[in-house]
Amino acid sequence: NVSAKADVYSYGILLLEMFTRRKPTDEQFDGDFSLRQWVAEAFRVAISDVINSHLLNQSNNTATERSDATARKELLVMIMEIGFSCSRESTNERMEMKQ
Tens of pLDDT, residues 37-82: 988 888 777 777 788 777 777 666 677 777 787 888 888 889 989 9
Check residue 11 and give its pLDDT: 95
CA proximity to 82, closest of 22, 3, 8:
8
Are 78 and 47 contacting, i.e. CB atoms less than 8 angstroms apart? no
- 54 CB neighbour count, 10 Å cutoff: 8
Are 76 and 19 contacting, i.e. CB atoms less than 8 angstroms apart? yes
Q: What is the pLDDT of residues 3-45, one digit of tens each?
A: 889 999 999 999 999 998 999 999 989 888 999 998 888 877 7
pTM above 0.75, yes or no: yes
Check residue 14 and give its pLDDT: 96
Q: How far apart are the first and last CA of the chain?
A: 22
